[in-house]
Structure 1
Amino acid sequence: MRKRHGSYGFDAPWALAGLLFGALVLLALAAASFSLDIIPAGIAFLFGGLYTLASAASYVYTTRRGKFAVWAEELDRLSGDEQLLDLGCGRGAVLLLAAERLDTGRATGVDLWRSKDQSGNDEPVARENAEAEGVSDRVELVTGDMRDLPFGDDSFDVVTSSLAVHNIADDEGRAQAVREAHRVLRPGGLMLVADFQHTPAYESVLRELGVIDIRRRDLGWRFWYGGPWFGTTLLEARKPAV
Protein backbone atom coordinates (compact mmCIF):
# COMPACT_ATOMS: atom_id res chain seq x y z
CA MET A 1 0.00 0.00 0.00
CA ARG A 2 1.40 3.38 -0.96
CA LYS A 3 1.92 6.19 1.54
CA ARG A 4 -1.22 8.16 2.29
CA HIS A 5 -1.14 11.86 1.40
CA GLY A 6 -4.39 12.98 3.00
CA SER A 7 -5.16 13.89 6.60
CA TYR A 8 -7.36 11.28 8.29
CA GLY A 9 -7.44 12.19 11.97
CA PHE A 10 -8.30 9.70 14.72
CA ASP A 11 -11.33 7.46 15.08
CA ALA A 12 -13.44 8.26 18.18
CA PRO A 13 -10.80 10.64 19.60
CA TRP A 14 -12.53 10.72 22.99
CA ALA A 15 -11.79 7.00 23.42
CA LEU A 16 -8.10 7.47 22.67
CA ALA A 17 -7.97 10.42 25.04
CA GLY A 18 -9.51 8.24 27.75
CA LEU A 19 -6.87 5.54 27.29
CA LEU A 20 -4.02 8.05 27.44
CA PHE A 21 -5.48 9.79 30.48
CA GLY A 22 -5.99 6.46 32.23
CA ALA A 23 -2.40 5.42 31.53
CA LEU A 24 -1.05 8.70 32.94
CA VAL A 25 -3.19 8.39 36.09
CA LEU A 26 -2.07 4.81 36.73
CA LEU A 27 1.59 5.65 36.17
CA ALA A 28 1.28 8.65 38.51
CA LEU A 29 -0.28 6.41 41.16
CA ALA A 30 2.57 3.93 40.67
CA ALA A 31 5.14 6.66 41.22
CA ALA A 32 3.32 7.88 44.32
CA SER A 33 3.05 4.35 45.73
CA PHE A 34 6.75 3.67 45.21
CA SER A 35 7.66 6.99 46.85
CA LEU A 36 5.57 5.99 49.89
CA ASP A 37 7.23 2.55 49.88
CA ILE A 38 3.91 0.81 49.13
CA ILE A 39 5.58 -1.64 46.77
CA PRO A 40 2.72 -4.07 45.94
CA ALA A 41 0.39 -1.21 45.03
CA GLY A 42 3.16 0.47 43.04
CA ILE A 43 3.78 -2.68 41.03
CA ALA A 44 0.06 -3.14 40.36
CA PHE A 45 -0.37 0.47 39.25
CA LEU A 46 2.78 0.26 37.11
CA PHE A 47 1.62 -2.81 35.25
CA GLY A 48 -1.84 -1.30 34.86
CA GLY A 49 -0.38 1.89 33.45
CA LEU A 50 1.90 0.09 31.02
CA TYR A 51 -0.95 -2.16 29.91
CA THR A 52 -3.21 0.84 29.29
CA LEU A 53 -0.41 2.63 27.47
CA ALA A 54 0.05 -0.42 25.22
CA SER A 55 -3.70 -0.36 24.52
CA ALA A 56 -3.41 3.28 23.50
CA ALA A 57 -0.51 2.41 21.20
CA SER A 58 -2.64 -0.31 19.58
CA TYR A 59 -5.44 2.21 19.11
CA VAL A 60 -3.13 4.75 17.47
CA TYR A 61 -1.65 2.12 15.15
CA THR A 62 -5.08 0.94 13.99
CA THR A 63 -6.54 4.37 13.36
CA ARG A 64 -3.42 5.71 11.63
CA ARG A 65 -2.11 2.69 9.72
CA GLY A 66 -3.60 -0.71 10.46
CA LYS A 67 -7.11 -0.11 9.13
CA PHE A 68 -5.69 1.26 5.88
CA ALA A 69 -3.58 -1.88 5.33
CA VAL A 70 -6.55 -4.17 6.02
CA TRP A 71 -8.96 -2.29 3.78
CA ALA A 72 -6.38 -2.03 1.00
CA GLU A 73 -6.23 -5.82 0.92
CA GLU A 74 -10.02 -6.16 0.96
CA LEU A 75 -10.47 -3.65 -1.87
CA ASP A 76 -7.85 -5.24 -4.11
CA ARG A 77 -10.67 -7.52 -5.34
CA LEU A 78 -12.26 -4.60 -7.23
CA SER A 79 -12.05 -4.87 -10.99
CA GLY A 80 -11.98 -1.10 -11.53
CA ASP A 81 -15.31 -0.38 -13.20
CA GLU A 82 -17.61 -0.56 -10.16
CA GLN A 83 -19.97 2.02 -8.78
CA LEU A 84 -19.12 1.95 -5.06
CA LEU A 85 -20.87 3.51 -2.08
CA ASP A 86 -19.12 4.03 1.26
CA LEU A 87 -21.47 4.52 4.22
CA GLY A 88 -20.18 6.89 6.92
CA CYS A 89 -17.17 7.80 4.79
CA GLY A 90 -15.79 10.42 7.19
CA ARG A 91 -12.53 11.89 5.95
CA GLY A 92 -12.31 9.24 3.26
CA ALA A 93 -10.08 6.45 4.58
CA VAL A 94 -11.96 3.65 2.82
CA LEU A 95 -13.61 5.77 0.14
CA LEU A 96 -10.33 7.00 -1.31
CA LEU A 97 -8.61 3.62 -1.10
CA ALA A 98 -11.50 2.34 -3.21
CA ALA A 99 -11.31 5.25 -5.64
CA GLU A 100 -7.64 4.50 -6.31
CA ARG A 101 -8.74 1.09 -7.63
CA LEU A 102 -11.53 2.42 -9.86
CA ASP A 103 -10.10 3.15 -13.29
CA THR A 104 -13.48 3.70 -14.93
CA GLY A 105 -15.79 3.39 -11.92
CA ARG A 106 -16.80 5.92 -9.28
CA ALA A 107 -16.78 6.05 -5.48
CA THR A 108 -19.56 7.84 -3.60
CA GLY A 109 -19.30 8.65 0.09
CA VAL A 110 -22.21 9.54 2.36
CA ASP A 111 -21.91 10.95 5.87
CA LEU A 112 -23.51 13.27 8.41
CA TRP A 113 -20.03 14.65 9.23
CA ARG A 114 -20.01 14.35 13.05
CA SER A 115 -16.66 15.09 14.72
CA LYS A 116 -17.37 12.90 17.78
CA ASP A 117 -17.10 9.86 15.51
CA GLN A 118 -13.82 10.99 13.94
CA SER A 119 -11.63 14.01 14.67
CA GLY A 120 -11.99 16.77 12.08
CA ASN A 121 -14.82 14.93 10.34
CA ASP A 122 -15.98 17.44 7.74
CA GLU A 123 -16.91 17.33 4.07
CA PRO A 124 -14.30 19.93 2.98
CA VAL A 125 -11.59 17.80 4.65
CA ALA A 126 -12.75 14.74 2.69
CA ARG A 127 -12.64 16.79 -0.51
CA GLU A 128 -9.13 17.99 0.29
CA ASN A 129 -8.06 14.41 0.93
CA ALA A 130 -9.49 13.31 -2.41
CA GLU A 131 -7.41 16.03 -4.08
CA ALA A 132 -4.30 15.03 -2.12
CA GLU A 133 -4.70 11.38 -3.13
CA GLY A 134 -5.28 12.33 -6.77
CA VAL A 135 -8.74 10.75 -7.07
CA SER A 136 -11.11 13.72 -6.86
CA ASP A 137 -12.35 13.07 -10.41
CA ARG A 138 -13.66 9.66 -9.29
CA VAL A 139 -15.23 10.71 -5.98
CA GLU A 140 -18.62 12.16 -5.05
CA LEU A 141 -19.51 13.25 -1.52
CA VAL A 142 -23.10 13.35 -0.29
CA THR A 143 -24.48 14.62 3.00
CA GLY A 144 -27.06 12.10 4.08
CA ASP A 145 -28.29 9.62 6.66
CA MET A 146 -27.48 5.96 6.01
CA ARG A 147 -30.97 5.11 7.34
CA ASP A 148 -32.53 6.98 4.42
CA LEU A 149 -30.11 6.94 1.52
CA PRO A 150 -30.77 9.43 -1.30
CA PHE A 151 -30.13 6.85 -4.03
CA GLY A 152 -32.34 4.65 -6.15
CA ASP A 153 -32.68 0.89 -5.85
CA ASP A 154 -29.84 -1.22 -7.30
CA SER A 155 -27.56 1.82 -7.79
CA PHE A 156 -24.22 0.37 -6.68
CA ASP A 157 -22.05 -2.65 -7.40
CA VAL A 158 -20.32 -2.47 -4.01
CA VAL A 159 -21.34 -1.02 -0.64
CA THR A 160 -18.69 -0.57 2.06
CA SER A 161 -18.75 0.75 5.60
CA SER A 162 -16.05 0.94 8.24
CA LEU A 163 -16.96 1.47 11.91
CA ALA A 164 -19.97 3.61 11.06
CA VAL A 165 -23.21 1.67 11.47
CA HIS A 166 -22.64 1.13 15.21
CA ASN A 167 -22.78 4.91 15.68
CA ILE A 168 -26.55 4.70 15.22
CA ALA A 169 -27.81 4.43 18.78
CA ASP A 170 -30.87 2.18 18.41
CA ASP A 171 -31.33 -1.36 17.12
CA GLU A 172 -34.02 -0.43 14.62
CA GLY A 173 -31.94 2.44 13.25
CA ARG A 174 -29.00 0.13 12.63
CA ALA A 175 -31.29 -2.45 11.05
CA GLN A 176 -32.73 0.22 8.78
CA ALA A 177 -29.21 1.25 7.70
CA VAL A 178 -28.46 -2.35 6.72
CA ARG A 179 -31.77 -2.58 4.84
CA GLU A 180 -30.94 0.62 2.98
CA ALA A 181 -27.49 -0.69 2.08
CA HIS A 182 -29.15 -3.82 0.69
CA ARG A 183 -31.73 -1.76 -1.22
CA VAL A 184 -29.19 0.34 -3.11
CA LEU A 185 -26.96 -2.65 -3.88
CA ARG A 186 -27.56 -4.21 -7.28
CA PRO A 187 -28.34 -7.93 -7.57
CA GLY A 188 -25.07 -9.83 -7.41
CA GLY A 189 -23.41 -6.86 -5.71
CA LEU A 190 -20.95 -7.06 -2.81
CA MET A 191 -21.38 -5.62 0.68
CA LEU A 192 -18.38 -5.20 3.04
CA VAL A 193 -19.20 -3.86 6.52
CA ALA A 194 -16.46 -3.67 9.16
CA ASP A 195 -17.52 -3.03 12.75
CA PHE A 196 -16.57 -4.01 16.28
CA GLN A 197 -20.20 -4.24 17.43
CA HIS A 198 -23.51 -5.66 16.20
CA THR A 199 -22.29 -7.63 13.17
CA PRO A 200 -24.40 -10.70 14.12
CA ALA A 201 -27.45 -8.40 14.10
CA TYR A 202 -26.46 -7.02 10.68
CA GLU A 203 -26.24 -10.57 9.39
CA SER A 204 -29.68 -11.40 10.79
CA VAL A 205 -31.21 -8.44 8.96
CA LEU A 206 -29.64 -9.50 5.67
CA ARG A 207 -30.83 -13.09 6.09
CA GLU A 208 -34.35 -11.80 6.69
CA LEU A 209 -34.01 -10.00 3.35
CA GLY A 210 -33.13 -13.27 1.64
CA VAL A 211 -29.35 -12.95 1.51
CA ILE A 212 -27.69 -16.32 2.06
CA ASP A 213 -24.15 -15.68 0.78
CA ILE A 214 -22.85 -14.15 4.03
CA ARG A 215 -19.81 -14.66 6.22
CA ARG A 216 -18.27 -12.88 9.17
CA ARG A 217 -14.56 -12.94 9.96
CA ASP A 218 -12.15 -11.36 12.38
CA LEU A 219 -9.87 -8.78 10.74
CA GLY A 220 -7.00 -9.43 13.14
CA TRP A 221 -4.61 -7.41 15.25
CA ARG A 222 -4.16 -4.60 12.72
CA PHE A 223 -7.78 -3.64 13.40
CA TRP A 224 -7.72 -3.75 17.21
CA TYR A 225 -8.85 -0.57 18.97
CA GLY A 226 -6.77 -1.12 22.08
CA GLY A 227 -6.69 -4.92 22.14
CA PRO A 228 -8.51 -8.07 21.04
CA TRP A 229 -11.55 -7.15 23.16
CA PHE A 230 -12.06 -4.30 20.66
CA GLY A 231 -11.28 -6.26 17.54
CA THR A 232 -13.09 -5.59 14.28
CA THR A 233 -15.23 -8.06 12.35
CA LEU A 234 -15.90 -7.91 8.62
CA LEU A 235 -19.36 -8.83 7.40
CA GLU A 236 -19.13 -9.87 3.76
CA ALA A 237 -22.33 -10.51 1.84
CA ARG A 238 -23.42 -10.80 -1.76
CA LYS A 239 -26.93 -9.83 -2.79
CA PRO A 240 -28.67 -12.64 -4.66
CA ALA A 241 -28.63 -12.24 -8.40
CA VAL A 242 -32.02 -12.07 -10.08
Structure 2
Amino acid sequence: MTIAARHRLAVEALALSGDEQVLEVGCGHGVATRLVLEQLTTGRITALDRSEKMIAAVQSGSPDAGDRLRTIAQALEDVDWAGEKFDAIFAVNVDLNLRLGERWAPLLEGLLKPGGRIVLAFEAPPKSGKADGFAKPSQPRLEAAGFAVDIRAGEAGVTLVSAHLGQPQ
Protein backbone atom coordinates (compact mmCIF):
# COMPACT_ATOMS: atom_id res chain seq x y z
CA MET A 1 0.00 0.00 0.00
CA THR A 2 1.35 3.41 -0.96
CA ILE A 3 1.30 5.90 1.90
CA ALA A 4 0.57 9.50 0.92
CA ALA A 5 3.16 12.06 2.02
CA ARG A 6 0.57 13.93 4.11
CA HIS A 7 -0.02 10.87 6.32
CA ARG A 8 3.65 9.95 6.62
CA LEU A 9 4.77 13.50 7.39
CA ALA A 10 2.06 14.03 9.99
CA VAL A 11 2.98 10.86 11.87
CA GLU A 12 6.71 11.59 11.61
CA ALA A 13 6.10 15.07 13.04
CA LEU A 14 4.42 13.51 16.08
CA ALA A 15 7.83 12.05 17.05
CA LEU A 16 6.24 9.24 19.03
CA SER A 17 8.18 7.16 21.55
CA GLY A 18 5.54 4.42 21.78
CA ASP A 19 3.84 5.01 25.10
CA GLU A 20 1.71 8.04 24.22
CA GLN A 21 -2.03 8.53 24.25
CA VAL A 22 -2.81 9.92 20.78
CA LEU A 23 -5.97 11.40 19.26
CA GLU A 24 -6.51 11.57 15.52
CA VAL A 25 -9.26 13.99 14.49
CA GLY A 26 -10.94 13.03 11.22
CA CYS A 27 -9.28 9.64 10.81
CA GLY A 28 -10.92 8.79 7.47
CA HIS A 29 -10.00 5.31 6.29
CA GLY A 30 -7.32 5.02 8.97
CA VAL A 31 -4.11 5.30 6.97
CA ALA A 32 -2.41 7.54 9.54
CA THR A 33 -4.03 5.60 12.38
CA ARG A 34 -2.29 2.44 11.18
CA LEU A 35 1.03 4.29 10.92
CA VAL A 36 0.66 5.41 14.53
CA LEU A 37 -0.28 1.88 15.62
CA GLU A 38 3.01 0.63 14.13
CA GLN A 39 4.85 2.95 16.52
CA LEU A 40 2.84 2.38 19.69
CA THR A 41 4.00 -0.24 22.15
CA THR A 42 2.12 0.55 25.35
CA GLY A 43 0.32 3.65 24.08
CA ARG A 44 -3.11 3.97 22.51
CA ILE A 45 -4.66 5.90 19.64
CA THR A 46 -8.20 7.18 19.62
CA ALA A 47 -9.41 7.47 16.02
CA LEU A 48 -12.24 9.98 15.72
CA ASP A 49 -14.44 10.59 12.68
CA ARG A 50 -17.97 11.85 12.17
CA SER A 51 -18.62 9.04 9.68
CA GLU A 52 -19.63 5.57 10.86
CA LYS A 53 -18.40 4.27 7.48
CA MET A 54 -14.89 5.64 8.09
CA ILE A 55 -14.81 4.24 11.62
CA ALA A 56 -15.80 0.81 10.25
CA ALA A 57 -12.92 1.09 7.75
CA VAL A 58 -10.45 1.86 10.54
CA GLN A 59 -11.68 -1.09 12.60
CA SER A 60 -11.57 -3.56 9.71
CA GLY A 61 -8.15 -2.29 8.62
CA SER A 62 -6.62 -2.75 12.09
CA PRO A 63 -7.74 -6.21 13.24
CA ASP A 64 -4.69 -6.80 15.46
CA ALA A 65 -4.74 -3.45 17.26
CA GLY A 66 -6.50 -4.72 20.36
CA ASP A 67 -6.56 -2.23 23.24
CA ARG A 68 -4.14 0.09 21.44
CA LEU A 69 -7.04 1.37 19.27
CA ARG A 70 -10.25 3.05 20.28
CA THR A 71 -12.67 4.43 17.71
CA ILE A 72 -15.35 7.09 18.12
CA ALA A 73 -17.94 8.01 15.48
CA GLN A 74 -18.76 11.58 16.49
CA ALA A 75 -17.73 15.14 15.78
CA LEU A 76 -14.85 16.40 17.94
CA GLU A 77 -16.99 19.04 19.61
CA ASP A 78 -19.77 16.56 20.48
CA VAL A 79 -17.69 13.96 22.35
CA ASP A 80 -17.92 13.82 26.14
CA TRP A 81 -14.22 13.42 26.91
CA ALA A 82 -14.86 13.11 30.68
CA GLY A 83 -11.51 14.66 31.55
CA GLU A 84 -9.49 12.44 29.21
CA LYS A 85 -6.12 13.90 28.17
CA PHE A 86 -3.78 13.11 25.30
CA ASP A 87 -0.04 13.47 24.77
CA ALA A 88 -0.54 14.26 21.09
CA ILE A 89 -3.41 15.25 18.81
CA PHE A 90 -3.21 15.30 15.04
CA ALA A 91 -5.34 15.74 11.95
CA VAL A 92 -4.65 15.22 8.26
CA ASN A 93 -6.53 17.34 5.72
CA VAL A 94 -9.07 18.47 8.30
CA ASP A 95 -9.58 22.22 8.18
CA LEU A 96 -10.59 22.92 11.75
CA ASN A 97 -10.69 26.65 11.00
CA LEU A 98 -13.48 26.12 8.48
CA ARG A 99 -15.51 23.75 10.68
CA LEU A 100 -15.03 25.23 14.13
CA GLY A 101 -13.73 28.76 13.64
CA GLU A 102 -12.07 30.08 16.78
CA ARG A 103 -13.36 27.25 19.01
CA TRP A 104 -10.98 24.47 17.97
CA ALA A 105 -7.66 25.58 19.46
CA PRO A 106 -8.96 26.00 23.04
CA LEU A 107 -10.89 22.74 22.63
CA LEU A 108 -7.72 20.85 21.68
CA GLU A 109 -5.70 22.61 24.37
CA GLY A 110 -8.18 21.30 26.94
CA LEU A 111 -7.63 17.74 25.69
CA LEU A 112 -3.83 17.82 25.99
CA LYS A 113 -1.63 16.81 28.88
CA PRO A 114 0.96 19.41 30.00
CA GLY A 115 3.67 19.60 27.35
CA GLY A 116 1.35 18.05 24.77
CA ARG A 117 1.59 18.63 21.05
CA ILE A 118 -0.59 19.09 18.01
CA VAL A 119 0.27 18.31 14.40
CA LEU A 120 -1.97 19.44 11.56
CA ALA A 121 -1.07 18.33 8.03
CA PHE A 122 -2.75 19.80 5.01
CA GLU A 123 -2.16 18.89 1.39
CA ALA A 124 -3.75 21.53 -0.79
CA PRO A 125 -4.44 21.05 -4.47
CA PRO A 126 -1.52 22.40 -6.56
CA LYS A 127 -1.57 26.17 -7.14
CA SER A 128 -4.77 26.56 -5.09
CA GLY A 129 -3.28 28.73 -2.34
CA LYS A 130 -5.38 26.76 0.15
CA ALA A 131 -2.37 25.78 2.27
CA ASP A 132 -1.88 29.42 3.27
CA GLY A 133 -5.61 29.74 3.91
CA PHE A 134 -5.28 26.82 6.31
CA ALA A 135 -2.01 27.75 8.03
CA LYS A 136 -2.42 31.51 8.45
CA PRO A 137 -5.50 31.44 10.72
CA SER A 138 -4.19 28.37 12.57
CA GLN A 139 -1.10 30.08 13.98
CA PRO A 140 -2.75 32.97 15.87
CA ARG A 141 -5.52 30.70 17.15
CA LEU A 142 -3.01 28.22 18.52
CA GLU A 143 -0.82 30.96 19.99
CA ALA A 144 -3.85 32.51 21.72
CA ALA A 145 -4.49 29.10 23.32
CA GLY A 146 -0.92 29.02 24.73
CA PHE A 147 0.93 27.06 22.05
CA ALA A 148 4.35 27.63 20.52
CA VAL A 149 3.75 27.17 16.79
CA ASP A 150 5.93 26.15 13.86
CA ILE A 151 4.65 26.11 10.27
CA ARG A 152 6.60 24.34 7.56
CA ALA A 153 6.07 23.60 3.91
CA GLY A 154 6.92 19.94 3.57
CA GLU A 155 7.45 17.74 0.55
CA ALA A 156 4.71 17.11 -1.99
CA GLY A 157 2.95 20.38 -1.14
CA VAL A 158 2.12 19.33 2.42
CA THR A 159 1.93 22.13 4.99
CA LEU A 160 2.66 21.06 8.57
CA VAL A 161 1.49 23.05 11.54
CA SER A 162 3.21 21.81 14.71
CA ALA A 163 2.24 23.24 18.08
CA HIS A 164 3.49 22.50 21.59
CA LEU A 165 2.09 23.59 24.91
CA GLY A 166 4.78 25.53 26.69
CA GLN A 167 8.29 25.64 25.35
CA PRO A 168 8.97 24.79 21.67
CA GLN A 169 10.41 21.31 21.18
State the TM-score, normalizing by the size of structure 1.
Answer: 0.58
1:147 and 2:112 aligned: no
| CA deviation string 1:169-227 (max 9, x = no partner) | 45xx233223211210111011111123422211111111222x210001222xxxxxx
Amino acid at match of 2:76: M
| Structure 1 range deviating more: 86-95 or 134-143 | 134-143
- Of the three residues 139, 153, 158, the one matched with 1:218 is 153
Aligned CA distance change for structure 1 residues 161 and 130 (closer, same or farther; 3 Å): same
SS in 2 for 1:90: coil
Unpaired runs of at least 5, structure 1 = 5-60, 115-120, 222-230
How many positions carry a matched residue from both structures? 158
Structure 1 residues 140 and 183: CA distance shift in structure 2, 3 A: same
Aligned to 1:176: 103
Aligned pair 1:207/2:133, yes or no? no
C-alpha distance 182-72 of structure 1, shift in aligned 2 (>3 A) = closer
Bigger Rg, structure 1 or 2: 1
Relative distance call for 1:85 and 1:79 in structure 2 (3 A) is same
What is the CA deviation profile of residues 106-131 of structure 1, one whole-angstrom value per residue up to 9, with x for unaligned ones?
000111018xxxxxx52211100111
Percentage identity across aligned positions?
A: 24
Shift in CA distance, 194/149, structure 1 to aligned 2, threshold 3 Å: farther
Cα distance in 1 for residues equivalent to 2:26 and 2:136: 19
Structure 1: 4+ residue segments shifted above 4 A: none
Among 40, 47, 56, the alignment partner of 1:124 is 56
CA root-mean-square deviation: 2.3
> TM-score, length-normalised on structure 2?
0.81
Aligned residue number for residue 187 of structure 1: 114
In the alignment, the residues of structure 1 paired with residue 40 and residue 109 of structure 2 have an alpha-carbon distance, to the nearest angstrom, of: 21
Q: Is 2:159 aligned against 1:233?
A: yes
CA change 1:128–1:74 in 2 (3 A) is: same
Contact 2:105 2:145 in 1 (8 A): no
More strand per residue: 1 or 2? 2
Match of 1:104 among 42, 50, 72: 42
2:13 corresponds in structure 1 to: 74
* Residue aligned with 2:5, SS: helix
Tell me which residue corresponds to 1:88. Answer: 26
Q: Aligned partner of 1:126: which letter?
A: V
Whether the aligned pair in 1 keeps the contact of 2:8 and 2:32 (CA below 8 Å) is no
Residues of 2 paired with 1:218 and 1:70: CA distance?
Answer: 11
Preserved contact between residue 6 and residue 92 of structure 2 (Cα < 8 Å): no
Q: Hey, what does 2:126 align to over in structure 1?
A: none
Paired amino acid for 1:203? Q
Structure 2 unaligned runs (5+)? 123-130
Counterpart amino acid of residue 235 in structure 1: V
Cα distance per residue 1:11-68 (max 9 Å; x no partner): xxxxxxxxxxxxxxxxxxxxxxxxxxxxxxxxxxxxxxxxxxxxxxxxxx8xx53334
